[in-house]
Amino acid sequence: MADGLVDTNIFIHAQTHDAHAEDCLLFLDAVRAGRVRAHLDPMILHELSYALPHYRKGMTRAEIAEYLLAILAWDGFTGDKGLLVNAVERWRTTPRLAFVDAFLATLAVREQCAVYSKNVAELQGLGAVVPDPLPH
């Protein structure tokens, strides 16, 4: 069980030299070592997928994916890690795919359900069932 929920800003502050950076770095070190347990929600990975390049100029999609996969391996993070790793992998290997679409495709394949979306081709390309037209 997690001690609490981690917010995106913890990761962002850890990438800076602001007044919160040291505290956030120490916290993340504790999570990495498993001394603190925190739930890592898919929304946080989604936010990181687009926020990190603004704080780490030049950070590529592949580098962001590697960072996300690395934090998913930390001992202190809890959550549906298998689902999240799969979503990050799909996001990394599919140019222009939004993280949320990678997550929805991954979840839909696992749960054997449809994704209601107009991103038909890209989601179907990830193995998801996407009704087109939408049911009425």
- pLDDT of 1 strictly over 80: no
pLDDT in tens, 72-90: 999 999 999 999 999 999 9
Helices (H), 34-98: 42-55, 61-72, 81-93
Helices (H), the chain: 8-14, 21-33, 42-55, 61-72, 81-93, 99-111, 120-125
Average pLDDT over residues 119-134: 97
Confidence class for position 113, pLDDT limits 50, 70, 90: very high
Residue 55 is predicted with a pLDDT of 86
Residue 77 is predicted with a pLDDT of 97
All structural domains of the chain: 4-125 (3.40.50)
- pLDDT of 97 strictly over 80: yes
Confidence class for position 70, pLDDT limits 50, 70, 90: very high
88 near 108, Cβ under 8 Å? Answer: no
